[in-house]
Amino acid sequence: MIPDKFVDKLKDYVEYKTVCPEVEIGLGIPRDTLRLVLEKDKIILYQPATGKEYTKQMDEYSIKCLDSLEEVDGFILKGRSPSCGIKDVKVYLGKEKTTGAIKGVGIFASQVMKKYPLLAIEEEGRLTNFRVREHFLTKIYIMFKFREVQKAKSMVTLVKFQSDNKYLLMAYSQKEQKLLGNIVGNHDKRSIDEIIDDYKNHLGYAFIRIPRFSNYINSLMHILGYFSDKLSVNEKKFILGTFQKYKIGKMPLSVPINLLKSYAIKYEQSYLLEQSIWEPYPEDLMDLSDSGK
């Protein structure tokens, strides 16, 4: 297990399947340092102290491990590790340390990203950043909820999922939100299996990156439209002011979100109150701390 406060807190809300690829290929604890090396246009996993290469073992284990997973919604990997790092892993330009280096991806991590390109995949160090963490949690929970839709294999369930996630999808990608709506519409009369497979792919594309502030504000403006005619000039001005403060980073998203939800409750907007945008992941996991990195 990665020693990390967020990773530890999350264990009450997810089922962890823990692995250490380096131990699994026969390396001990403690072990001599491993290093990624670029040699003849290929990345190898090299142990300087012994002069041994473990590339083949790591590739074979990675594929075997990932093929054995039945249900998975995301990955938390060890940052900068030659096996598990997803960003900024040092790749030496030769077996001697003095030869210079470039940035790359760990061998196990590269297989994860190849097999699950649309799932939430992050390093524990990056999750100290509030927006990265918020995006990660939103994505693992939306994919988990969609697995329930897959199990149901019901158009009614899929329509309900699309409806309940309308404004969250809009906040992430208006383009994909519309495409997902067309898939649910099923104008070509495809089978439920085809529809669900197509929907899952586009759902992954919708959540592939952290949404822009302007995207979220656009979605919030659509929500505001449900009751804007009932608000005073000063109320509208105050709400729009919170949107602007969120946009320039002076206010967390939770402020305009909760403000709008209070009006949805006041004006009994039952459709809006079903929306996942209010709480895309458990509230107890909300943590406003931010490393700034």
- Rounded to whole angstroms, how far apart are CA atoms 27 and 81? 14
Closest CA to 33 of 121, 113, 103, 92: 92
Is the torsion defined by CA of 283, 288, 291, 293 positive or negative? positive
pLDDT at 21: 97
Which residue has 């012994």 as its token pair?
50
Task: Please give the pLDDT value at position 148.
Answer: 95
Model pLDDT, residue 280: 97
User: What is the structure's pLDDT at 292?
Assistant: 63
Q: How far apart are the first and last CA of the chain?
A: 23
The dihedral sign for the CA sequence 98, 99, 104, 110:
negative
Mean pLDDT per block of 10 residues along the chain (293 residues) reads: 82 94 94 94 95 97 96 95 95 85 96 97 94 96 96 97 98 98 95 97 97 97 98 98 96 95 98 98 86 67
Return the pLDDT at 1.
56
Q: What is the DSSP string of the chain?
A: ----HHHHHHTTTS------HHHHTT--SS----EEEEETTEEEEEETTTTEE-HHHHHHHHHHHHHT-SS--EEEE-TT-TTT-SS-EEEESSSSGGG-EEEE--HHHHHHHHH-TTSEEEETTGGGSHHHHHHHHHHHHHHHHHHHHHHHT-HHHHHHHHHHTHHHHHHH-HHHHHHHHHHHHTTT---HHHHHHHHHHHHHHHTSSPPPHHHHHHHHHHHHTTTGGGS-HHHHHHHHHHHHHHHTTSS-THHHHHHHHHHHHHTT-HHHHT-GGG-SS-GGG--------
Q: Where are the domains of the chain?
A: 5-128, 129-293
pTM value is 0.92
Identify whether the C-beta of residue 146 lies closer than 8 Å to the C-beta of residue 198.
no
| Beta strand 52-53 pairing with 35-39 | unpaired
